[in-house]
Amino acid sequence: MTKRHLTIATRESPLALAQAESIKDLLQKHHPHLSVDLLGITTQADKRLDVLLTEIGGKGLFVKELEEALLDGRADIAVHSMKDVPMELPPGLCLPVIGEREDPRDAFVSNEYASLMQLPSGASIGTSSLRRQTQMSVLRNDIILKTLRGNINTRLQRLDNGDYDAIILAAAGLKRMDFGNRIRAYLSVEQSLPSAGQGALGIECREDDEATKALIAPLDHAITNSCVTAERALCRRIGGGCKVPVAAFAQMHRGVLLLRGLVAGQDGIHILRAQLEGEAKNAESIGTRVGEELLQQGAEKILKEFQ
């Protein structure tokens, strides 16, 4: 039987709500008969902005309460930024749909300076991401890295208040919130390799809910799904979440998937890199093999620094 109503679980941050609304619009475009409403949930990660995510359990706290709403039937689907989704899902849930990726790069935002390289020595950059911090310190070991948490509006406000000379944010979030004009420069993937899933939205649902799976299926973007599958397989193999600086980014060119992986030490000196290309249908094994290569290079020793 075709469902006529769907409830979307979403965080209540402005970006999360905008992303959920975009999925709602796409669903109703594909299924004009469908009514869709949003169930806004304030997660533990949103409540505790005074501490680092790594200290309270990592990015998984952005999705835990949404997954509980799926499991207890309050919601049919949950919309997530894929970079926030833990590598292992709770029993009974699945991620059948990954939408077309927005810009995956990191963005340099500043009111005074046009790019990272134009920052004067001793300038301060705000970012809470270990992945970004370690890669920034490689590019500019003469700048001061400061922690920055909160939603996009809060982070931009703190920059405008003069708390930082510049901040680094995901370009995708800025664009989805119509803040693309705040981007002064993009960091190339060579300068700052993105985190697994950055720029992509995933739709999670109950594994046994075939009616819902059928409704959301048209929103899946096969190329993005293959790329994110490879990225997540790499992280799963080396045990990398947001508590450790692991980057994984895949691109598809003429049917060939290229995955690049990175693990960085706290000192900003020890950086391991690996890459592999192959057919999209082998995305999972490509990710696992790049993870293996990083472990062989010594990733485990580096990651222990952060445990």
Place of tokens 């109503």: 5
pLDDT at residue 36 tops 80: yes
pLDDT tens string 104-122:
999 999 999 999 999 999 9
pLDDT tops 90 at residue 102: yes
Dihedral, CA of residue 275, residue 279, residue 281 and residue 282, to nearest 10: -40
For residue 48, pLDDT beyond 70: no
CATH code of the domain made up of 106-187: 3.40.190.10
Third-level CATH fold of 221-307: Double Stranded RNA Binding Domain (3.30.160)
Query: What kind of fold does domain 1-101+200-220 have according to CATH?
Result: D-Maltodextrin-Binding Protein; domain 2 (3.40.190)
- What pTM does this model have? 0.90
Q: What percent of the chain has pLDDT over 90?
A: 79
Q: What is the mean pLDDT of residues 53-73?
A: 74
CA–CA separation, 306 vs 209, rounded Å?
A: 38
Q: Which residues are catalytic?
A: 84
pLDDT in tens, 201-220: 999 999 999 999 999 999 99
Q: Which band of pLDDT confidence, cut at 50, 70 and 90, is reported for residue 129? A: confident
- Does 269 score more than 80 pLDDT? no
Least confident of 56-65, 146-155, 260-269: 56-65
Domain boundaries, the chain: 1-101+200-220, 106-187, 221-307
Which tens digits make up the pLDDT trace of 181-208?
A: 999 999 999 999 999 999 999 999 999 9
User: Can you give 101-160 as a three-state secondary structure string?
Assistant: CCCCCEEEECCCCCCHHHCCCCCEEECCCHHHHHHHHHHCCCCEEECCCCCHHHHHHHHH
What pLDDT score does 55 carry?
46
**Per-residue pLDDT at 46:** 52
The per-residue pLDDT for 60 is: 57
Indicate whether 307 pLDDT > 70. no
Are the CB atoms for 28 and 8 separated by under 8 Å?
Answer: no
8 and 39 in contact (C-beta within 8 Å)?
yes
Q: Do 1-101+200-220 and 221-307 share a fold?
A: no
What are the distances in angstroms from CA 218 to CA 30, 176, 215, 224?
Answer: 8, 21, 7, 14
Report pLDDT for 301.
87
Residues 38-47 have a mean pLDDT of 75
User: At residue 54, does pLDDT exceed 70?
Assistant: no
